[in-house]
Structure 1
Amino acid sequence: MAQIELRNVGKRWGDFVGVHDFNLTIPDKEFLVLLGPSGCGKTTTMRMIAGLEDASNGDILIDGTVVNGMEPKDRDVAMVFQSYALYPNMNVYENIRFPLKVRGIDPKLHDEKVRRASAMVELDDFLHRKPAELSGGQRQRVALARAIVREPNVFLMDEPLSNLDAKLRVSTRAQIKNLSHELAVTTIYVTHDQIEAMTLADRVVVMEKGVVQQVGNPTEIYDRPANTFVAGFIGNPAMNLIEGQVRAGVFTAPGVEISGLSAPDGAATLGYRAEDASVVEFGGHINAPIYSLELLGDATMVTVRIGQTLVNVRADKSFRAEIGDAVSISVPAGICHMFDGQTGARIEAQDAS
């Protein structure tokens, strides 16, 4: 059982702010993902929870106890890193067993615990091998088993899939998802990959430049991004964002005119998802020449240029055209997201005047 609380937690190095006033409660058994680009503060936040970095300000609580002054070994957390950090001279069995020896667990219990952990990540046939004899995916599973065997209150995972190829990332991601369900342990997972975040998380914390941009479940983050940063970071492809003007409910930009919007007059950024729009024969809201075409198998991604901005639409896989051909894209008001042209903050319909 472990609830984690971060109260005004920050990290500074001189004048540089790595994490700014982070406030969040992570309930017991939640799978929380810290998501953002490189340098956004997500790993620093995790390291402060683990005790590998000292917080410059604020309090970190685990089950109601302030742990700021505690050593990492006393916080009852287990970490899985991007680098597997395995002992090359030990076989898989001994690598998994090592935390039990260090923590003074009764040796009579070691074999049962090691084999239970290895079975969870399907390593039973590899226990005699050394790390050098394993694939990248197998090594990461050893690292997972080594964390599992400790039976900690909290799992901390820092970019655990980054060193794997695309196919292995998918299969290992599914394994982590299944493990989180089976183990039911509070987990904090750091990644820059929004697909990992959307598929694994109970809740996502989107960060940028040390500041929390939005907290919510994957559906909330995807359907109602809090600002243009979140909108442009979440989704594959990311949300299309077009800068323009709103006058009397009509948004205009070069080659773009969309009416029926609930947004105040002035500079605004309009967003829409490629899968929500459609290619039409004529009378669309965006009219521009095709910049590129990508056949995805189940669909064709059509990209056009609006000023200096590239935006796209997901068309049927049977769509046929050439680069340079004129195309018309339907973007109904109902699928549009509106953001303030100055701050980038989301404009809610009821805020319109």
Structure 2
Amino acid sequence: MVGVVLRNVTKRWGSFTGVHAVDLVIGDREFVVFLGPSGCGKTTTMRMIAGLEDPSDGEILIGDRVVNDLEPKDRDVAMVFQNYGLYPNLTVYENIRFPLKVRRVDASTHDARVRKAAAMVELGDLLHRRPKELSGGQRQRVALARAIVREPAVFLMDEPLSNLDAKLRVSTRAQIKNLQHELKVTTIYVTHDQIEAMTLADRVVVMNKGRFQQVGTPTEIYDRPANTFVAGFIGSPAMNLMDGAVAAGVFEAPGVRVPGLVGYPDGPATLGFRAEDAEVAAGPGGEIAAPVYSIELLGDATLVSVRVGPALVAARAPKTFRAEIGDPVSFRIGAAGCHVFDSASGERIEPAPAMASPGPARADLGSTMPIGATA
């Protein structure tokens, strides 16, 4: 089994710390995506795994080996860069073959391995061309094939799709996911694009300011964000966030009143909900009522935005919904679709568990019986 382990890994440059004591265990054959805004430390973390940067503290293991002191060529990893890194004077065939020559792999195996890697990314009929004769998508596939031909223990991909147009991103994203499934190789992928992260990853590592904010499956991170940063970064559109206060199970802010938040402590709080968890209706009513700020036709739905205090709040309406800017609308938000965060720290707040009713358990209590109780 070949996984990757980070133990208390830190990277400092003088007084500036780019990565703060991160810990992570990546399983064999797992596809993990490092996600975050520019400058958050995700590429630095990958470069330390690759051996292109030395950690200031901590240990990095690939398989059962501590690799801190190993050269990049000795770590058995293959890296795909954002800028492709192709040799312009070499053909596609020779670009793919180059890692085999550098590593002095038996020359008799080169042709078969090059053609197999090229076929995996549908480049079999382009092997005679040079990079300048290829499209951006084709160049990226050459870079992928060059990594594949190595047959490494770990793939490292640093924003490989950022130079492609939207249509090519979709098709190349699907190709990368399928390749990882076929090759069954541990893969670490860096991106600032949350759609790439959500569609590709087995697990996502959300980073900000050199720290891990949350590690989990795409579903876990989308459904239960650990803090307001994750909530506001994941999703398209991002989760709506409004500052206010909870009192006796009711969240209130200027223009907002959401009841039913049972079990949450009283005090200042940030309320979050996703656009698809609200219903839009014309006219007043609901938990939020305000004039339309903007309206966007998305094809399968209509995104309606209103301004509530300083916050711009969006809800997803049916594609047939029509309104003009300035028209009164209302959003209905069920408590079940709400998330509550601490206003000061931004951390998620979980409601206190409901108290069991006093007295002996009875069969006719139905769903109110405590778990494990018998009639």
Calculate the TM-score normalised by the size of structure 1: 0.99
Q: Residue 338 of structure 1 corresponds to which residue in structure 2? A: 340
Q: SS of the residue aligned with 2:271? A: strand
Q: Retained in 2: the 8 A contact 1:264–1:352? A: no
Corresponding residue for 1:267?
A: 268
Secondary structure class of the residue paired with 2:275: coil
Residue in structure 2 matched with residue 329 of structure 1 by the alignment: 331
CA contact (8 A) 1:245 1:251 kept: yes
Which residue matches 1:23?
Answer: 23
Secondary structure (helix, strand or coil) at the match of 1:319 reads coil
Match of 1:94 in 2: 94
Write the distance in 2 (CA, Å) between the matches of 1:180 and 1:349. 39
Question: Is the CA contact (8 Å cut-off) linking 1:32 and 1:189 kept in structure 2?
Answer: yes
Superposed counterparts of 1:121-140, under 5 Å: 121-140=121-140
Counterparts of 2:182 and 2:155 in 1: how far apart (Å)? 13
Cα contact 1:292–1:323 (8 A) shared by 2: yes
Aligned residues: 353
Give the corresponding residue for 1:254. 254
CA distance in 1, matches of 2:286, 2:349: 24
CA apart distance, 1:46: 0.2
Counterpart-to-counterpart distance in 2, 1:45 and 1:189: 11
Describe the SS at the equivalent of 1:143: helix
The one-character-per-residue Cα deviations of 1:119-171 (angstroms, maximum 9, x if unpaired) are 00000011000000000000000000000000000000000000000000000
User: 1:157 maps to what in 2?
Assistant: 157
Q: Deviations 1:151-202 (Å, cap 9, x if unpaired)?
A: 0000000000000000000000000000010000000000000000000000
CA distance in 2, matches of 1:152, 1:189: 15
Partner of 1:78: 78
Per the alignment, residue 318 of structure 1 pairs with 320
Distance 1:70 1:352, change over 3 A: farther
1:65 Cα offset (Å): 1.2
What one-letter code is carried by the residue in structure 2 that aligns with 1:10?
Answer: T
Shift of residue 351, structure 1, vs aligned partner: 7.0
Q: Which runs of 4+ in 1 moved over 6 A?
A: none
- 1:1-353 matches, within 5 Å, as 1-262=1-262, 263-281=264-282, 282-350=284-352
Whole-angstrom distance in 2 between the partners of 1:191 and 1:339: 26
1:23 Cα deviation after fit? 0.3
Query: What letter corresponds to residue 142 of structure 1 in structure 2?
Result: V
Cα offset, 1:268, TM superposition: 0.4
For 2:114, what is the secondary structure of its paired residue?
A: helix
C-alpha distance in 2 between matches for 1:283 and 1:303: 16
Secondary structure of 1:45's match? helix
Gapped regions of structure 2 (runs ≥ 5): 356-375
Q: Determine helix, strand or coil for the equivalent of 1:126.
A: coil
Residues in 2 aligned to 1:224 and 1:106: alpha-carbon distance in whole angstroms = 50
Q: Tell me by how many angstroms 1:283 deviates.
A: 2.7
- Give the CA deviation at 1:231: 0.2
TM-score, reference length from structure 2? 0.93
> 1:280 offset after TM fit, Å?
2.6
- Provide the secondary structure at the position in 2 that maps to 1:348: coil
- Bigger relative contact order (CA 8 A; separation at least 6): 1
Answer with 1 or 2: which has the greater Rg.
Answer: 2
| Identical-pair percentage | 74
Instruction: Note the alpha carbon deviations across 1:1-28, whole angstroms, 9 max, x for none.
Output: 4111100000001111100011011111
Assess if the C-alpha contact under 8 Å between 1:81 and 1:159 holds in 2.
yes
Distance 1:309 1:43 in 2: 32
Q: 1:46 to 1:351 in 2, by over 3 A?
A: farther
Corresponding residue number in structure 1 for 2:360: none
1:352 Cα offset (Å)? 9.2
Aligned-pair CA distance for 1:350:
2.3
